[in-house]
């Protein structure tokens, strides 16, 4: 069985951990520069305000509906996401993070296990230990697990296990809700009479391959219960920007880990540029071989969260922020199994509101930046800087409704009376 765990209304749920006044209210988190709604509480959804609604359009009705808004706080969301992954590692041997709020889990349990009870235990632990409500779905394949998770999230228990014969469920699942089927593809499929997941699953595979792609044929197979999408599969299906690999042999040197992170970061940045997107931050993981010698760390995963100063697609900018953090999650003397990087807070560079003061066109300035970096390395950080960075930090991205960095900054800790 493969499980999919995801945080409900994740960004809003992160905000609620530290702010009880948001409970029961219509809350939305805004994109960078307070652009539009990117995460909504159930109460907010109930007002029929769609995802992506610009903030300025809602200003007039804030009082009327008692709306609450928060600027996106990726340092906080990244840290909570990191904690969720750490907890999942206590339940299963293999966790594959898919996005900031979703992870596939691979339990090493016999088929006759009560997966509903297992999922409930995971869910309850995440709620108590971290404070985020999650949905859990189990199924034989990733594509089916996505559907199971979707159903679980809407049920009162929050957990759903795909029955042995999923036909009834697939008949009720619109094809547009199948993992990997985008809006445009769904329209095309519907024009061919493929309306539900069941329609897609029962379609002739060579035909799907010929008329669409190998990927869609794989999706159809997955819906039939046949595993096609492997763990750590860097297939195009993956919409998140993440990269993780198990090492061929145990790695012990910090430099090797650092290099693996640099390689993943470069790869992810390339993908971001190709898709004209920028990332607001990243989580970095090292997975360790368990060692009983003396328990320096009980967990077999160490991780850290990095929030970039500005959303970026520039490898150098990313590594500049990531590199200083890596030492902090390196435990000397241990053997490492795997490393991983997940980028989050992805926004399309075209649609995102322009950040006037973001360092401009970093790529075109590659030569310039390397000179600047050299001078700064020689004479100290900040000797040369772009005016875009500002002489005071008052020109930061507009985040007027930002919550404190409760978990990543000593001077912004939650206050208790």
Partner 1 sequence: MAKKEKSKELPPLMAAPAVCGFPSPAEQYVESPLDLNELLVKKAAATFFVRAVGDSMTGAGIRNGDILVVDRSLEAVDGAIVIAAVDNEFTVKYFRKRGSDILLEPANAAFKSIRFAEGMELRIFGVVTACIHQFR
- The site for partner 1 (CB under 8 A) is made up of 20-21, 79, 83-84, 86-87, 90, 128-131, 294, 296-299, 304-305, 325, 327-333, 406-410, 413-417
In the complex, minimum distance from the CB of residue 81 to partner 1, in angstroms, rounded to a whole number: 11
Q: Which is nearer to partner 1, 124 or 204 (CB)?
A: 124
Between 194 and 284, name the residue whose CB sits nearer to partner 1: 284
Closest separation between CB of residue 325 and partner 1, Å? 6
- Residue 103 CB, shortest distance to partner 1, in Å, is 13
Q: Please, what is the minimum distance in Å from the beta carbon of residue 48 to partner 1?
A: 27
User: CB of residue 50 vs partner 1: minimum separation in angstroms?
Assistant: 29
Which residues neighbour 198 within 8 Å (Cβ) at sequence distance 6 or greater? Answer: 167, 170, 171, 173, 223
User: Which residue, 12 or 84, is less far from partner 1 as judged by CB?
Assistant: 84
Give the torsion through C-alpha atoms of 59, 42, 283, 343, to 10 deg.
-70
Residue 332 or 367 having the CB closest to partner 1: 332
List b or e across 32-42, with b for residues whose CB sees 16 or more CB atoms inside 10 angstroms.
bbbbbbbbbbe
Of 25 and 271, which has the nearer Cβ to partner 1?
25
Is the dihedral angle over the CA atoms 202, 204, 205, 209 positive or is it negative? negative
**Least distance in angstroms from the C-beta of 171 to partner 1:** 39
CB 134 within 8 A of CB 8: yes
Nearer to partner 1, 206 or 332 (CB): 332
Neighbouring-strand partners of residue 95: 105
Give me the least distance between CB of 174 and partner 1, in Å please: 36
The contacts of residue 366 (CB under 8 Å, 6+ apart) are 316
What is the H or E stretch that residue 209 is in?
helix 205-211
Q: How far is the CB of 85 from partner 1 (least distance, A)?
A: 8
Residue placing its CB nearer to partner 1 in the complex, 110 or 328: 328
- Closest C-alpha to 166, from 154, 150, 180, 181: 150
Grouping H, G, I as helix, E, B as strand and the rest as coil, residue 206 is helix
- Encode 209-238: b = buried (16+ Cβ within 10 Å), e = exposed: eeebeebbbbbbbbbbbeebbeeeeeeebb
Of the candidates 74, 80, 21, the one whose C-alpha atom is nearest the C-alpha of residue 399 is 74
Our CB check for partner 1 shows the closer of 205 and 321 to be 321
Maximum Cα–Cα distance for the chain, whole Å?
68
């Amino acid at each position: 069985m493969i499980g999919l765990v995801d945080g409900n209304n994740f960004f809003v749920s992160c905000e609620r951990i530290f702010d009880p006044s948001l409970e029961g209210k219509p809350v939305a988190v805004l994109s960078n520069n307070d652009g539009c709604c990117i995460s909504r509480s159930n109460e907010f959804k109930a007002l029929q305000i769609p995802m992506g609604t610009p903030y300025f359009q809602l200003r007039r009705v804030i009082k009327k509906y008692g709306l609450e808004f928060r600027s996106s706080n990726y340092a906080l969301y990244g840290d909570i996401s990191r904690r969720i992954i750490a907890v999942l590692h206590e339940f299963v041997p293999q966790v594959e993070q898919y996005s900031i709020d979703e992870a596939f889990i691979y339990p090493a349990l016999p088929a006759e296990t009560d997966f509903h009870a297992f999922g409930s235990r995971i869910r309850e632990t995440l709620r108590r230990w971290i404070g985020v409500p999650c949905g859990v779905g189990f199924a034989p394949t990733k594509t089916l697990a996505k559907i199971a998770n979707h159903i679980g999230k809407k049920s009162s228990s929050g957990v759903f296990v795909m029955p042995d014969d999923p036909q009834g469920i697939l008949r009720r699942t619109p094809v547009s809700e199948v993992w990997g089927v985008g809006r445009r593809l769904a329209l095309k499929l519907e024009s061919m009479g493929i309306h539900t997941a069941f329609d897609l699953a029962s379609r002739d595979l060579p035909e799907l391959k010929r008329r669409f792609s190998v990927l869609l044929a794989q999706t159809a197979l997955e819906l039939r219960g046949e595993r096609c999408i492997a763990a750590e599969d860097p297939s195009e299906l993956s919409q998140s920007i993440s990269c993780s690999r198990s090492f061929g042999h145990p790695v012990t040197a910090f430099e090797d880990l650092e290099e693996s992170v640099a390689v993943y970061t470069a790869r992810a940045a390339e993908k971001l540029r190709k898709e004209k997107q920028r990332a607001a931050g990243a989580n970095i993981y090292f997975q360790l071989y368990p060692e009983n010698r003396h328990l320096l760390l009980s967990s077999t995963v160490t991780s850290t969260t990095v929030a970039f100063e500005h959303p970026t697609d520039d490898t150098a900018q990313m590594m500049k922020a990531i590199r200083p953090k890596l030492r902090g999650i390196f435990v000397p003397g241990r053997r490492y199994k795997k490393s991983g990087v997940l980028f989050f807070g992805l926004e399309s560079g075209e649609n995102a509101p322009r950040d006037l003061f973001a360092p401009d066109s970093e790529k075109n300035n590659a030569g310039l930046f390397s000179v600047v970096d050299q001078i700064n390395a020689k004479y100290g950080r900040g000797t040369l800087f772009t005016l875009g960075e500002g002489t005071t930090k008052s020109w930061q991205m507009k985040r007027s409704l930002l919550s404190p960095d409760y978990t990543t900054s000593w001077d912004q800790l939650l206050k208790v009376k």
